[in-house]
Structure 1
C-alpha cells in the first residue's frame, strides 16, 4: 500500500513539473524567426511580379474498365448439361470428333462422334455444345463452329472452334 502511494506521488510530481508554462530563456520562439524572414523577402517580391499558371489534368475513362471493379464475376453460373434436349447440345464441343465430311451440289455434311461413341450427321446452321454454338462452315478438312462464352467481366464474347477431320491410319 505504501509503495503504491509513493509511486502515485512521484508521478504527480513529474506531471506538475512538466506542465510549466515558462519557456527556457535561451531559446526564442520559432514563429518570430519566420516572421522576420518574411519581412525581409517582401521588398524583393514587390519588385518582380510573378504570374503562375497551373496546368490542370482531366482524366478520360472512355474505353477503359473500372479499376475498382472486381475481376471475378459476381454471379457464377455453371453450365448445366441438358439431359432431355438434343444430344448434340448435351456435350462440350471439344469432346466431339469429326469422322467424315461429305458434300453434294447444295450442302456439306459432317459425321461427328460424341464421347459416348454415338455418331450424328450435322450440316451448317445446326446448334452444337452446351454454350449454344452454331456450325458456321463445313470445308473439306474441318468444321467451323462459333459459340458465345462469358469472359472475366461477364460479357458474352464469340469463340471460334475448329474441329479437324479425324484421319485414320492408311
Structure 2
C-alpha cells in the first residue's frame, strides 16, 4: 500500500512538472510578439496640427550676441553705473544689468542699442544709435554719473 502511494505521488509530480514545462514553452511566442512591438517605430498623425516632437528651432542658428555684436539684451536705458576703475591709464566701467549681474566695459565696447563713447573719473558717456531696433537719424549721447556719496 505504501509502495503504490509512493509511485502515485512520483507520477503526480512528474506530470505536474511536465505541465510546467509545457506552459513555459507556450510563453515563447509572447516574447517574439514583444520583440516585434519594440521594433515598430511610433508614428504621429498631425491632422493639420504642429508636430510636438519636432524641434522648434529647426536648423536655425542661435546667436549668442545681439545684432550689433554687443552683450545680449543689454540696453543703455536698463543698465546702472556701479563704479569706474582706473588701471594703467585706462578706465573700465562696472555696469549692472537688469538682473543685477556686473559687467565690465571699456571705451568702444558695444551694447544692444549703442556703444561706450568715453569713460572719465566720475562718468560714462554712451552713444545711443538704435531705439527699439530702429536706427536713429541723429545719435544721442547719454551720460551716467557716479553719485558723490558712492565714490
TM-score by length of 1: 0.42
TM-score by length of 2: 0.47
Task: Pick the structure with more strand per residue.
Answer: 2
Task: Pick the structure with more helix per residue.
Answer: 2
Larger-gyration structure (1/2) = 1
